[in-house]
């Protein structure tokens, strides 16, 4: 194993595929290191299982998440405890909680992925501009980053959501708009140090335009911390979405969402129906834990010495 | 060794620079809050009166609220208001926004302080024990607990705590503020303090592990100091720097992020005020609260920055990006 790793680290001197070869061996190397890390693999497993469940939800559930069995089976279908027919029990309307948890993963992952993409795109563009151009551009973008950082995440998104008409795409945008600052800060620092490197100087000397130098030469080399930040950020966005829907400002019912289920179920705790709140909570924990473990593992695998900030 | 005066001037410079750096951020915060709350799709006056309000009432309200004036004039008024601590009046109750926040603040502040005290004591203890007994069952146990603490949604853990302590064991009478006794604060503080406790435990552990390998620890030991003196006096103090950052940002976030816990435990704090304002479309309160929270955050961060030299005199006070 160490021999392979060492082999991967040797720069490929073949001019034709130099950049491709380097990227390839870097990622193979990262994967080798990631495989050694049991916690990271556990995280990857959790994320993969939940993602597959969300994608193939109709195949692995017996009941539609919206079907209220109370209409067909009467009160017997209400608040059924977990058993062979309903693995996670049913709610007060006789809906299958297992189905609702599985379908709820779709909302969480959709918001996580879409908002992360938005915040990474904004963060990379602004961070790269700040780091590359410096001067006034840097001052303005850094100032904006600090201003955005001053707002508490949840309250800021809540206020945005209050002003926007309800709907998923606007929620992606609201979270993405608030969340880009962490990425921008990391990218700026990375670009700032990459700018001084010889390969950037070389690319500039041969007449590469600013955009070309940033996109073709700098960005591929600073991808690692961005990926780590994005992975860890997925966890916090999923947590945020569940808090929003717990507060009643998330996805509108009847679309199943984990936070909303927890809030609904909490009213029946005194009646002994613990399962309604408990299982969606486990699901959130599993998915967030998965992203956190994977993010930590990626950070170690991509660069053991690099210390990426905690982010938000 | 630097001369006394030289060191003082470096410190004064640092404090001065930090204070100056805060001003543009505060101006930016005020601008963002204004923009956020001014580009409302729809007319706040109409939203407040409702769809069936007659045009004359809406027009009167618009004039009362100053909504008929040009945007830049509204911004200058808003800015002036913030500087003179006048955030306007609630659209609903007509109470000054500052007063509405001030009335609710003691409950949230008490909760935040209790949670942070709990988080610091448990987090630092867990992290220290884990570092000192590295790779033991104790270490693994605390770090798994910390990982769960970071990954579990606090409101869900809160619900489970209520089920356990209020419903099953009946140790705690219930939610709300009750007669104001401390017992009602236990579960909300546990719920809110869980995440920062977990973060602090992880940071303390990694900080301690890093510090314990340093030369000056070996020096301290070889001087014949007791293990307790080495750990508390030398190692812990140096491992505390990242922890202070978490305490600072955590305090600020709790004052704004107690929203979920306040809803869960029916506490009439600042977070609840925000939720009620959003539900009632009371834009003056929303605007005031977002601004208030952001300003608290900026001030807390400034205090955190200013406290660094107390813990680590070597910190270089060069131009840095905040919270590096």
pLDDT of residue B41: 58
Q: Of B252, B124, B30, B211, whose CA–CA distance to A312 is shortest?
A: B252
The per-residue pLDDT for B313 is: 61
Whole-number CA gyration radius for chain A? 23
Give burial (CB, 10 Å; 0-12/13-18/19+) of A72: exposed
Backbone dihedral angles phi then psi of residue B89, each to the nearest 5 degrees: -115, 150
What ranges do the domains of chain A cover? 37-309
Burial zone of B23 (CB within 10 Å; 0-12 exposed, 13-18 middle, 19+ buried)? exposed
Asked whether A147 and A180 are in contact (CB, 8 A), the reply is no
Complex confidence, ipTM: 0.81
Put simply, the answer to whether A150 touches B298 (Cβ < 8 Å) is yes
**Window 158-187 of A, Cβ < 8 Å to B:** 158-160, 162-165, 185
Query: Does residue A249 sit at the B interface (CB-CB below 8 Å)?
Result: yes
Look at residue A282 and tell me whether its pLDDT is greater than 70.
Answer: yes
Q: Where are the domains of chain B?
A: 104-323
Q: What are phi and psi of B152, to 5 degrees?
A: -85, 140
- Over residues A120-130, the mean pLDDT reads 93
Q: What pLDDT score was predicted for residue A22?
A: 55
Of these ranges, B97-111, B205-219, B293-307, the one predicted with the greatest mean pLDDT is B97-111
Longest dimension (CA), chain A: 77
Residues of A in Cβ contact (< 8 Å) with B278 = 158-159, 162, 249
Cβ separation B167–A147 shorter than 8 A: no
Number of Cβ pairs closer than 8 Å across A and B?
A: 136
Say how many C-beta atoms besides its own lie within 10 A of residue A109's C-beta. Answer: 20
Over 60: is that where the pLDDT of B35 sits? yes
Query: For A37-309, CATH number?
Result: 1.10.3720.10
* Topology adopted by domain B104-323: MetI-like fold (1.10.3720)
Tokens representing residue A143 in the block: 């100032």
Verify whether the Cβ–Cβ distance A150 to B25 is below 8 Å.
yes
Asked if A311 and A229 touch (Cβ cutoff 8 Å), the reply is: yes
Longest Cα separation, chain B: 84
Residue A171's Cβ-side half-sphere holds a number of Cα atoms within 13 Å equal to 22
Structure-token pair, residue B18: 């930090």
- A247 to B156: CB separation less than 8 angstroms, yes or no: no
pLDDT of residue B73: 86
**DSSP code, position B41:** S
Q: Is the pTM of this model over 0.90?
A: no
* Residue of chain B whose alpha carbon sits nearest to that of A165: B41
Among A75-79, A190-194, B44-48, the range scoring the smallest mean pLDDT is: B44-48
Kindly write down the DSSP assignment for every residue of B183-245, as one continuous string.
HHHHHHHHHHHHHHHHHHHHHHHHHHHHHHTSHHHHHHHHTT--HHHIIIIIIIHHHTHHHHH
Pick from A148, A150, A257, A270 the residue to mutate for testing the B interface (most B CBs within 10 Å): A150
Q: What chain B residue is nearest to A236 in terms of C-alpha separation?
A: B151
């Amino acid at each position: 194993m160490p021999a392979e790793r060492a082999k991967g680290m040797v720069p490929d001197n073949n001019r034709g595929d130099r950049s491709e070869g380097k990227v390839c061996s870097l990622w193979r190397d990262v994967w080798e290191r990631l495989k050694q890390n049991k916690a990271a693999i556990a995280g990857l497993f959790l994320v993969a299982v939940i993602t597959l469940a969300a994608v193939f939800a109709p195949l692995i559930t017996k009941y539609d998440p919206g079907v209220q069995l109370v209409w067909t089976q009467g009160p017997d279908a209400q608040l059924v405890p977990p058993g062979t027919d309903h693995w996670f029990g049913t709610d007060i309307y006789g809906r299958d909680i297992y189905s609702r948890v599985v379908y709820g993963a779709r909302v969480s992952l959709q918001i996580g992925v879409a908002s992360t993409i938005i915040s990474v795109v904004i963060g990379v563009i602004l961070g790269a501009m700040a780091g590359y151009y410096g001067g006034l551009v840097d001052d303005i973008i850094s100032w904006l980053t600090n201003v955005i950082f001053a707002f508490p995440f949840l309250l800021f998104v809540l206020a945005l959501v209050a002003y926007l008409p309800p709907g998923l795409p606007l929620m992606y945008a609201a979270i993405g708009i608030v969340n880009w600052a962490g990425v921008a800060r990391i990218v700026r620092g990375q670009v700032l140090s990459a700018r001084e490197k010889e390969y950037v100087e070389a690319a500039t000397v041969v007449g590469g335009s600013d955009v070309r130098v940033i996109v073709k030469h700098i960005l591929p080399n600073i991808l690692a911390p961005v990926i780590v930040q994005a992975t860890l950020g997925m966890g916090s966005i999923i947590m945020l979405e569940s808090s929003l829907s717990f507060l009643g400002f998330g996805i509108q019912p009847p679309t199943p969402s984990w936070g909303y289920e927890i809030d609904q179920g909490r009213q029946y705790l005194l009646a002994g129906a613990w399962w309604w709140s408990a299982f969606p909570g486990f699901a959130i924990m599993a998915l967030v834990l998965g992203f956190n473990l994977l993010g930590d593992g990626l950070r170690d695998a991509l660069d053991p010495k690099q210390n990426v900030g905690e982010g938000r | 060794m630097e001369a006394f005066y030289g060191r003082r001037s470096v410190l004064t410079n640092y404090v001065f620079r930090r204070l100056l750096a805060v001003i543009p951020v505060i101006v930016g915060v005020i601008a963002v809050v204004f923009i956020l709350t001014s580009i409302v799709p729809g007319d706040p006056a109409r939203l407040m009166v409702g769809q069936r309000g007659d045009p004359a009432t809406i027009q009167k309200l618009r004039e009362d609220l100053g909504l008929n004036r040009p945007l830049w004039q509204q911004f200058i008024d808003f800015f002036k208001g913030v500087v003179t601590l006048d955030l306007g009046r609630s659209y609903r109750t007509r109470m000054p926004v500052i007063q509405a926040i001030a009335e609710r603040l003691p409950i949230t502040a008490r909760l935040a302080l209790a949670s942070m005290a709990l988080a610091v004591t448990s987090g630092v203890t867990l992290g220290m024990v884990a570092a000192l007994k590295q790779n033991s069952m104790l270490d693994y146990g605390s770090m798994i607990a910390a990982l769960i603490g970071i990954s579990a949604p606090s409101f869900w853990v809160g619900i489970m705590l209520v089920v356990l302590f209020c419903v099953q064991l009946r140790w705690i009478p219930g939610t709300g503020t009750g007669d104001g006794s401390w017992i009602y604060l236990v579960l909300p503080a546990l719920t809110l303090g869980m995440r920062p406790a977990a973060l602090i435990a992880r940071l303390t552990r990694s900080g301690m592990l890093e510090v314990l390998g340093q030369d000056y620890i070996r020096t301290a030991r070889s001087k014949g100091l007791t293990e307790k003196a080495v750990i508390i006096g030398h190692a812990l103090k140096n491992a505390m720097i990242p922890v202070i950052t978490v305490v600072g940002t955590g305090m600020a976030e709790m004052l704004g992020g107690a929203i979920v816990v306040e809803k869960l435990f029916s506490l009439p704090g600042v977070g609840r005020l925000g939720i009620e304002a959003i539900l009632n479309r009371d834009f003056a309160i929303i605007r005031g609260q977002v601004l208030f929270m952001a300003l608290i955050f900026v001030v807390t961060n400034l205090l955190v920055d200013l406290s660094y030299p107390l813990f680590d005199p070597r910190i270089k006070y060069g131009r840095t990006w905040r919270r590096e």
